[in-house]
Structure formats: structure tokens, C-alpha cells
Amino acid sequence: MSQVIITETIQVDIVDAPCLNPVALYWLNKIGGWDMWVFGMTQTEGIEVSNGEEFEKYISELADEIGRKKFISKTEIPTITLGYECISTEKVRGIKGILSAIKVLMLTSGKDVLTPTFIEVNVEAGSFKIIETENGFHNLEFTIELNEIFNQEL
């Protein structure tokens, strides 16, 4: 009879119901390993639009002019506000590591895809909120920025 040696104990949390629209984030932690969490509660999509370079054109006929300022380009940064409810203090401490991570990835492939695909995202500075609830549990919320979209080049 072979002897079984246990080298590691892993705690797995089983959720009662699957998330409707899960977002899986992976981040490089301070000791060089990868941490991950699946967010499925609060999800609000947004977009931040910023003006690129601009100039003021010469007006030759004032009666026909509708504006002087012209933009050469505009950029869009899609954002997603993620959240999780009723999470323990220990797990909040672990997830907070995403703030100092130099690399954060979002899983973009579906469950039936053999090779996972990722995009690099950024945690928006100052968006991380921890709200204390009853019995030592917390709600947390933060915003990630997806890849910048350049458009409307003149």
C-alpha cells in the first residue's frame, strides 16, 4: 500500500450561484507569484474621453465661421467598475495587492476556449473603496481601465 503525503492544503470557496457576468483578474504579487479573483457582483461599464492635440484655425470670413478650436484627435479609455460583497478581512487584504501590482491581466476568453487569452488592464488610481459591513465582512469596489482606443485622427 502506497503512502500519501500531503504537501499543501488549499481552501476552496464554493459559491451558491454562478456569477452572471464574471470578470477574472490576475495580478503579479509582491513575491513574484500570480494571484487571481473572479468579480461578479457590481459591474458598471464606462468610458473616459479625452481631447488630444488641438489648434485654433485662422478665420477668414467671420460670418461663415461656426468655431475656431479644432481637435486633431480624441482618445477613449473604456472602464469597468468591479465590486464584491460580504468578503472577509483576510481576503480583502489579499485583493488589495492588486493596487501595487506592476502587471494586471483580465481574462477575455470564454469557458469553451482551450487557450486562455488576456488583456493587460490598469487599476484606476484612487478608485479602491473598502466598506465595512456587519460581522467583520466588507464590500469592496474599484475601477479598472482597459486599453486606450485612439480614434478620429485628423
Domain count within the chain: 1
Residue-range definition of the domain harbouring residue 144: 23-151
DSSP state of 31: T
Q: Is residue 10 part of a domain?
A: no
Q: Is residue 3 part of a domain?
A: no
Long-range contacts of 32-40 (CB under 8 A, 24+ apart): 35/94, 35/95, 35/97, 35/98, 37/84, 37/95, 37/98, 39/82, 39/83, 39/84, 40/84
pLDDT at position 74 is 80
Q: Is residue 18 part of a domain?
A: no
pLDDT by residue for the chain (154 residues), tens only, comes to 678 787 777 776 665 555 667 888 999 998 899 999 988 766 888 988 887 777 777 666 766 666 677 777 788 889 999 988 888 888 888 898 998 899 999 988 766 777 888 999 999 988 888 888 878 888 888 999 998 877 766 5
Query: Whole-model pTM above 0.75?
Result: no
